[in-house]
Amino acid sequence: MNPTPNSFLTRRQALQQLACGFGYMAFAGLAAQAAARSAANPLAAHPGHFPARAKRVIFLFMGGGVSHVDSFDYKPTLYARDGEMREFLDQRNIARTGVGATGRVMKPMWDFKQRGQSGRWVSDLFPHLAELADEYCVVRSMHTEGVAHGPATLFLHTGSTNLIRPSMGAWVSYGLGSENENLPAFVALSPTLANGGPRNYGNAFLPSVFQGTAIGRSGQRAVEAGLRNVRNPGLTTAEQQRQFELVRAMNEEQLRAKPGDYELEAVANSYELAWRLQNHAPDTLDLSKESAATLALYGIGEEPTDDYGRQCLMARRLAESGVRFIQVNYSDNTNNPAWDQHSNLPKHKDHAVRVDKPVAGLLRDLKARGLLDDTIVWWGSEFGRTPYAEKNGTGRDHNPTGFSVLLAGGGFKPGFAYGETDDFGHFAIENKVHMHDLHATILHQLGLDHEKLTFRHDGRDFRLTDVHGHVVRDILG
Amino acid sequence: MLSCFSFPAVIAALALLGGSIRGADAGDLEFFEKKIRPLLVERCYECHSEGKKIKAGLRLDHTEGWRRGGDSGPAVVPGNVEGSPLIKAVRYTGLEFEAMPPKSQLTHAETALLEEWVKRGSPGPDAAMASAATPDTAAAKPKQVGLTVAEGRKFWAFIPPAKSDVPAASPTTKNWPRTDIDRFIAAEWESKGLTPAPDANRAALFRRASFDLTGLPPTPEALEAFVRDVRPTAGAFASVVDAMLAAPQFGERWGRRWLDVARFAESSGGGRTLLFKDAWRYRDYVVETFNRDVPFDRFVREQLAGDLLPAATPEDKRRQITATAFLALGPTNYEEQNKDALRMDILDEQIDTLGKAFLGMTIGCARCHDHKFDPIPNRDYYALAGILRSTHTLHNYTDNVAKWVDATLPADPAVETEIVAHEAQIATLEKQIGKLRAAAGNASLAKSVTAASLPGIVLDDTQAKVVGEWKHSTAMPGFVGEGYLSDDNAEKGKRTVTFTPVIPQTGRYEVRLAYNAAESRSTNTPITILHADGESAVVLNQRERPSVDGRFGSLGTFRFEKDGAGYVLVSTEGTTGYVIVDALQLIPIEPRADLLPAVLAGTAGVAKSAVTKTMAELVDPAARKNAAELKRLEAELKKLTTAGPKRELAMSVREAAGEIGDTEIRIRGVARNLGAKVPRGFLQVATPGEMPQFSATESGRRELADWIASAENPLTARVITNRTWAWLLGAGLVRTVDNFGTTGERPSHPALLDHLARQFVADGWSIKKLVRAIVLSRTYRLAAGATPDAARLDPDNRLFSHANRRRLEAEEIRDAILAASGRLDLTVGGPNISAATTSEYGYVFADTRRSLYTPAFRNRRLELFEVFDFADINASVGQRAASVVAPQALFLMNHPWMTEQAKLAAQRTLASADRTDSARVEEAYRVALGRAPTARERTLALDFVHAGSVEIWAQFHQSLFASVDFRYLD
């Protein structure tokens, strides 16, 4: 058999026109095709437990812990009591010794104002997000597990501080599959290697097809980020096509000797999917076709917003293309990550200016394209920061007992604030939302029941929310 | 603190207070009815009352409910506000209790009411308040829903393996069996109407055995020799199998399988990943164990209790200590701040791993409650936990970022002598240096210096963030810059100074604080250093003369990351005397200053030479001479410490001296929520006889090891025998190889499993004999692929009427490609992470040793491993998954490593110029697929390469690697 370059392409085009898109029609019956397809593509889109309000999630992860009392949780008491030494139930101290510690109350470093029609309080730390205060829901009563970055970051992503569990994106991929068979269902843009690293987008005991695909990595510029192995740098497209054709012909010959083995057929088919991925996926990440106005909206082409702006725009393009769970990481590879201002809170501003405009740009762009309605945009950290100065210095320590997240689109009530922390912003006290609850609520909006989204492993059914979690219906529109 | 809630104490308290409880006076009752009951109804009943929910077994709708309490014991200790769990929970200070009510906190007034109520003795009416429910049902413990221990003893896995008769041959297959294994297998076919597949052809059989036993493809020569061997297949095959069993690559292949089970890794992963630099010793120990065919029962004992077992030779001692890394290699999150929880998490991981690895049991499920499915009560878990809690896995349980136990390995006598001499030499030098330093310190500091003239990163006090009123002073000479700061010995705790240095390059730095000493100074200045590995607290005695040049006090050496957060905070909290802050200095230690950007090496060349001199030596010739001598000695010391012989370390565990004993049940698995103590012990259901008596001075690991490694244990021999079967035949007799519990599958051939397990024990727990027996059976030699009959009658091939086609594992794929490219390095054993590596991040995988030796980092994996389902090295894995996904295809087609290996393979093919293309194609097929090409394949290949360049040949080789047959064993 003598393959010609064209025969492959023609075949590929022919296959694409079939609803199923897979299969070696020459020697596989329809039933075999279906079996090979499900073996080759467990990522095929499938419905959840009930009708979904949203189709996908964009999670804007602020690694290190944004100070909620300097941004979205306005506490007049901090001004009134600024400088006072008080006993606080400091979580780090409690974890270590069982007792709290004395701290100096420190007022916010950025002024708060009421914004928009809703009159939500937002500080000057995030002027662009302040303008959009009517577009998102602020949950001010978050609390979580883990006082240090590693445990808390893993908890945020996997629902466990220490045990090996699948990440949320992997659960969502498992629950819903991908809407685009040329792209992965779960993408992590510029993930950090620190604080759990790959476990934060890993599949743990779920089949590996559900693991997150990393595009770029923290520390690499977004402009250089891309999908791995989608090009052979040594070959022209024509040469590559000829090689793919050879592999196909070799496999066809080998399979002829072993008919009826679906797994082997799935291997052969994986080259067809690979070829399509190779030809389509890079376009998704190519920002050159975006208009100047769009680039400007995200702050692309200007510093210091270019990098995170690119990530946010790639996220929109991935969302448009049917990727289910897109995580956009603002972090670095250090053990004390970006937003971790223990000693120097004013540095928060350096980070804020890098993300504020891109995130606001993303929200505006999604809205303008009608995508915000069925996209959940979740902005937040693994925890917040203390209302008192750490060791009486000039920064704030970690605070897992009270912090804020933003939720836009996807059926969350816009311009709404939910829950309260105490007068100092230390502990969530009213309408508390645990990280498990947030997970449950986001799954709910995607049409997934967090108690039913289970996977049997080691003889028992596991869930993202373990045996916890409640859907917070009050924040749903 | 919590022991006061333990049962006897509470019962005593109730007895003492009994009168006042029963006889609550009218006023108290009125207080209860008016203030407390409405509060309980409104805020607590939703989850703690009859008819709604009774969470955590606690009812608050009648008196007995809070007196008896729930899972955590009484909710209220009458009269004792601080000691009442209910109060702790509503104060939201929760350590051992979840904050209650979970949705929102009570107001201060409401909390005060409850405190008042407890102070009054928590009065309430004697009668049930809300319903007729009896107190007994209210406080009822959750029932065990799985099997009881007695029921469990009747479950197949807990019944000791029985002697089974080898089945007689049936008429249809009587000529087929070769060994007893075959007789057991063939006996099941008759009733199903199955007939065996033909025997595999010799080439396929040889390739299969080669990968199964050595993890490597056969060489074309060996393959050819076997195919042409004129002896009958059985005999010819037995001799090649024996050769494979004797090869060092056997231990590498089978050791790798055990490493999956032992979740072997060379870094901790998790939050803050740390390198396990000595983990390779455990890997080599495992390989050697399989190569020497050390009895499996001994292997078990060494891994669990090697440090406690007698050793005949220093070599044995080394092996045994190294073996205990099994307990220490888990994916521990050393940064967890709640160290009680960390300790329980570590032993949970150990219980989980040893349960799966040796017993095929998911014991971890019994941490919070009785096992839901298996006959493992909660107390069995804590019986095991007592043993492991009597063992230290961490060096200490207090550091911000904890560290594992490094044990010193005994050296052989000659090396030992050398080391002792070396250590003495270092001690002498250190003494001399100490004396000279003291002398230098005594010379007076004449004047101030500028920050720029000092080496390293220097921040003067003017560059620090200052909180509170600090006094600027120039009273004492010798300061850096314009002066220094003093807290004026006032407002202790309110004043701090924070230095936030900018770190130009990741590395280790010595951190120094400049101050001047005097009698009036603080003796206990607390200083916090946040660095890349966590937070460290140092206490500085400022009455002591600064040790470096009389100017700087050293605070220790820490790792800082470029652009990472880091600071040094000087506090005045609790200090007695004046706190002085002059400047901060960071001296790069690793990499050295001369390798760093100019900014670190002192600001200018001139300054650099000046800085090596102290102020004293500028004015005093004697001091100058001293300084020269000091420098010489310091250099010598550095040379000695870096170059001399070192004691070898291995990851290990040690007995928890002073803490050995039984431990308490942790209620609902919460580390600080202690229940009753349970005696140390094992799983009752798998313990036929009496539990041993545990020593008060030894953890009990030795007894634990004996219990597991016993022929009486119904699980151990079956589990390893079944795994061995699965590793060779692609599926276990029990297909859930890590789960022999009630949620696992039942054995397809229970009699064969028992036969193999008993034979294994009778053969002295020899893995090699077991492997040999299975591989030489005719069952192993069957051809792969189902006949249409088999596909219909036994689609899952549970009856092994044909061989299961197996995908090569990630390591086999890499090793086979390296074998084809001619680059495979077969060096056996030894470390493979370069000594200079400090972090897995950015690690470049460049070696060509067997994949077994590829650094097994938890957070950074070789991409090929990631793509091809390398075992999850965070957890014990007895059988790997084998996925089929497009990224595998993309990797094989496009990854630079693939194109590089393909090109090397092509160069080999083209090396002898006199061969025809057809011969080259044939050779390539034999190397990659272990067979010659078919006529059609040959034509296809020749059309593709057709007088082509090395690049075209490389594409051809790469395509072979990408083809289905390369990846599968027939």
Among B306, B313, B261, residue whose Cα is nearest residue B283: B261
In the predicted model, what is the mean pLDDT of residues B706-720? 97
**pLDDT tens-digit map of B232-276:** 999 999 999 999 999 999 999 999 999 999 999 999 986 678 899
As a whole number of angstroms, the distance between CA A69 and CA B626 comes to 56
DSSP assignment of B212-256: HHHSSPPPHHHHHHHHH--S-HHHHHHHHHHHHHHSHHHHHHHHH
> What is the distance in angstroms between the Cα of B867 and the nearest Cα belonging to chain A?
9
The residue to which tokens 């799966």 are assigned = B356
Hey, CA dihedral for B629, B632, B638, B644, is it positive or negative?
Answer: negative
Q: Which residues of B touch A427 (CB under 8 A)?
A: 92, 105
Long-range contacts of B688-692 (CB under 8 A, 24+ apart): B688/B160, B688/B712, B688/B714
Where does a domain end: B85, B106, B138?
B138
For the segment B775-817, what is each residue's pLDDT rounded down to a tens digit?
Answer: 999 999 999 988 888 888 998 899 999 999 999 999 999 999 9
Percent of chain B surpassing pLDDT 70? 90
**Residue of B336, B567, B889 with shortest CB distance to A274:** B889
Tokens in use for B875?
Answer: 């957890």
Nearest residue in B to A93, CA atom: B337
- Detail the DSSP E strand segments found in B373-464: 391-392, 405-408, 457-460
- Is the alpha carbon torsion for B594, B600, B602, B604 positive or negative? positive
Residues of B in contact with A258 (CB under 8 A): 785, 805, 970
* CA contacts within 13 A on the Cβ side of B834: 7
Q: Are residues B37 and B123 in the same domain?
A: yes
> What value, to the nearest 5°, has the Cα angle with vertex B429 and ends B425 and B433?
170
In a domain, B340, yes or no: yes
* Contact: B95, A98; criterion CB under 8 Å: yes
Percent of chain B with pLDDT over 90: 48
* Sheet of strand A101-105: strand arrangement: A85-88, A101-105, A384-389, A396-399
Chain B positions touching A94 (Cβ under 8 A) are 93, 95
At residue B309, the pLDDT reads: 96
What span, in angstroms and rounded, lies between the C-alpha atoms of A100 and B94?
A: 11
Identify whether residues B366 and B479 lie together within a single domain: no
Nearest CB neighbour to B92, from listed A163, A205, A427: A427
CA distance A135 to chain B (A): 26
Nearest Cα neighbor of B782 from B233, B236, B191 is B233
pLDDT, position B445: 54
Cα–Cα distance, B873 to A148 (Å, whole number):
23
Residues of A in contact with B944 (CB under 8 A): 242, 246
Instruction: Write out the two tokens for B802.
Output: 């044909």
Q: Which residue has the tokens 């993309």?
A: B890
**Do residues A57 and A326 touch, judged by C-beta distance below 8 A?**
yes
Determine the residue of chain B that is closest to A456 in CA distance: B743
CATH number of A55-223+283-475: 3.40.720.10
State whether B579 and B703 are in the same domain. Answer: no
Own/partner pairs, B128-137, CB within 8 angstroms, 24+ separation? B128/B61, B128/B62, B128/B64, B129/B37, B129/B61, B129/B62, B129/B63, B130/B45, B130/B49, B130/B50, B130/B51, B130/B61, B130/B62, B131/B50, B131/B51, B131/B61, B133/B50, B133/B59, B133/B62, B135/B62, B135/B64, B135/B65, B135/B68
pLDDT of residue B433: 80
Q: DSSP characters for B702-723?
A: HHHHHHHT-TT-TTHHHHHHHH
- A66/B contact by beta carbon, under 8 A: no
Strands B583-590 and B507-514: antiparallel
Location of structure tokens 């798998």: B686
For B525-567, write each residue's pLDDT tens digit. 999 898 887 788 888 999 888 888 788 998 988 888 887 778 8
Q: In terms of domains, do B570 and B660 share one?
A: no
Report DSSP state, residue B734. Answer: S
Residues B317, B460 share a domain: no
pLDDT confidence bin for B4, thresholds 50/70/90: very low
B464 and B342, same domain (yes or no): no
Domain tally for chain B? 4
> Are the beta carbons of B955 and A209 separated by less than 8 Å?
no
Q: Specify the DSSP class assigned to residue B356.
A: I
Distance CA A23, CA A18 (A): 10
Interface of A with B in 127-156 (CB under 8 A): 141, 146-151, 153-154
- The pLDDT assigned to A361 comes to 98
- Boundaries of domain holding B378: 295-408+653-708
Least confident of B353-367, B468-482, B906-920: B468-482
DSSP run (H or E) holding B507: strand B507-514
- ipTM exceeding the 0.90 mark: no
Helices (H), A59-132: 76-80, 91-97, 127-131
pLDDT digits (tens, 9 = 90+) for B165-213: 999 877 777 889 999 999 999 999 988 899 999 999 999 999 999 999 9
Residues 329-388, chain A, touching B (beta carbon < 8 A): 332-337, 340-344
Report the residue from A96, A150, A432 with minimal CB separation from B271.
A150
B944/A246 CB distance under 8 A: yes
Instruction: Report the distance separating Cα B447 and Cα A130, nearest Å.
Output: 54
Query: Higher model confidence: residue B724 or residue B466?
Result: B724
With an 8 Å Cβ cutoff, are A264 and B943 in contact? no
Crossing angle of helices B950-962 and B886-894, rounded to 10°: 160
Query: Could you tell me where the DSSP H helices lie in B802-869?
Result: 810-821, 863-867
Contact A195, A156 (CB under 8 A): no
Contact A332 B533 (CB under 8 A): no
Is the predicted pLDDT of residue B601 greater than 90, yes or no? Answer: no
Mutate to test the interface with A, among B82, B92, B890, B949 (most CBs of A within 10 A): B890
Q: How far apart are CA A82 and CA A104, in angstroms?
A: 8
CB spacing of A271 vs B528 below 8 angstroms: no
Interface test mutation site (partner A, options B335, B884, B888, max chain A beta carbons within 10 A): B884
How far is residue A113's CA from residue A127's CA, in Å, rounded to a whole number?
Answer: 10
Answer whether the bond into residue B102 is a cis peptide, omega within 30°.
Answer: no
Q: Is residue B806 part of a domain?
A: no
Taking a C-beta distance cutoff of 8 angstroms, is the pair A149, A336 a contact? yes
Tens digits of residue pLDDT in B276-309: 999 999 999 999 999 999 999 999 999 999 999 9
Interchain proximity A335–B533, CB inside 8 Å:
yes
- The arithmetic mean of pLDDT across residues B747-775, rounded, is 97
- Flag whether residue A205 sits within 8 Å of chain B, measured between CB atoms: yes
- Examine the fold and report which residue of B138, B164, B189 is the final residue of a domain before the chain moves on: B138
Q: Does A421 touch chain B (CB under 8 A)?
A: no
- The pLDDT mean for chain B works out to 86
Res A21: pLDDT: 29
- Whether residues A427 and B105 touch (CB distance < 8 A) is answered with yes
d(CA B651, CA B227): 46
- Three-state SS for B327? helix
Minimal Cα–Cα distance from B616 to chain A, Å?
35
∠ Cα B668 B674 B675 (to 5°): 80
Mean pLDDT for B671-693 is: 90
In this structure, are residues B488 and B575 in contact, taking their beta carbons and an 8 Å threshold? no
| Rounded Cα–Cα distance for residues B487 and B497 (Å) | 10
Q: Is B391 domain-assigned?
A: yes
CATH number at residue B544: 2.60.120.260
- pLDDT for res B15: 34
pLDDT band at B620; cut points 50, 70, 90: low
Asked if the structure places residue B395 within a domain, the reply is: yes
Best A139, A229, A390 residue to mutate vs chain B (most B CBs within 10 Å): A229
Chain-chain contact of B893 with A271 (C-beta, under 8 angstroms):
yes
In sequence order, the β-bridge partners of residue B526 are B539
For an interface test with A, give the residue of B336, B337, B469, B499 to mutate (most A CBs within 10 A): B337
Select the residue of B95, B272, B884 nearest A266 (Cβ to Cβ).
B884
Cβ–Cβ below 8 Å for B805 and A249: no
DSSP string, B287-307: HHHHHTT--HHHHHHHHHHGG
Most B-contacting residue of A335, A350, A397, A433 (CB-CB within 10 A), to test interface = A335
Q: Tell me the mean pLDDT in the region B44-53.
A: 81
> Residue B18: its pLDDT value, please?
34
Q: What is the pLDDT of residue A19?
A: 25
Average pLDDT on B310-328 reads: 95
Q: Residue for token digits 């067979």?
A: B931
The pLDDT value given to residue B874? 79
Residues of chain A where predicted confidence (pLDDT) is lower than 50: 1-37
In a domain, B235, yes or no: no
DSSP annotation of B825: B
Say which DSSP state B547 is in.
T
